[in-house]
């Protein structure tokens, strides 16, 4: 295998890891909620219907992967977007799906799965 193949393999592996990380709706909701500005866990819980332990688990996974950054202010931890690449990908895919659901985009051009024949 040559260097170009190794490079493309790394790109695809990195993309697959990012897609895997963002493969749950709650993580996409977290990223979306933080696109405007940083928030603490309590603020996120008012926007996203889940338990505090579940929220903390997802925040930790996104933080470990570098998608989110955080800072401590006394007893509060504030989260913000740490990877614009991940936020941009999330926005692009979710926006495209929302547009397709609300418009007459031909089925062949949609990101949504096609119904089985």
pLDDT at res. 117: 47
Instruction: Give the whole-number percent of the chain exceeding pLDDT 90.
Output: 50
pLDDT at res. 82: 94
pTM to 2 decimals?
0.77
Contact 58, 41 (CB under 8 A): no
What is the C-alpha separation between 43 and 39, in angstroms, rounded? 6
Per residue in 23-61, pLDDT (tens digit) is 899 999 999 999 889 999 999 999 999 999 999 999 999
Pick the CATH number of 15-104 from 3.40.50.2300, 3.40.720.10, 3.40.640.10, 1.10.10.10: 1.10.10.10
Q: How many Cβ atoms are within 10 Å of 72's Cβ, its own excluded?
A: 8
Pairing outcome for strands 39-40 and 68-73: unpaired
Domain boundaries, the chain: 15-104
Name the pLDDT band for 91 (thresholds 50, 70, 90): confident
Computed over every residue of the chain, the mean pLDDT equals 86
What is the C-alpha separation between 112 and 30, in angstroms, rounded? 22
């Amino acid at each position: 295998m040559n260097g170009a193949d190794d490079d493309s393999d790394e790109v695809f592996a990195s993309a697959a890891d990012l897609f895997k990380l963002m493969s749950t709706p709650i993580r996409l909701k977290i990223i979306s909620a933080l696109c405007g500005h940083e928030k603490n866990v309590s603020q996120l819980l008012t926007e996203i219907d889940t338990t505090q332990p579940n929220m903390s688990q997802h925040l930790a996974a996104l933080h470990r992967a570098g998608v989110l950054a955080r800072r401590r202010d006394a007893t509060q931890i504030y989260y913000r977007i740490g990877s614009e690449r991940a936020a941009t990908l999330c926005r692009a895919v979710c926006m495209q799906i929302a547009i397709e659901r609300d418009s007459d985009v031909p089925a062949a051009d949609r990101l949504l799965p096609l119904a089985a024949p």
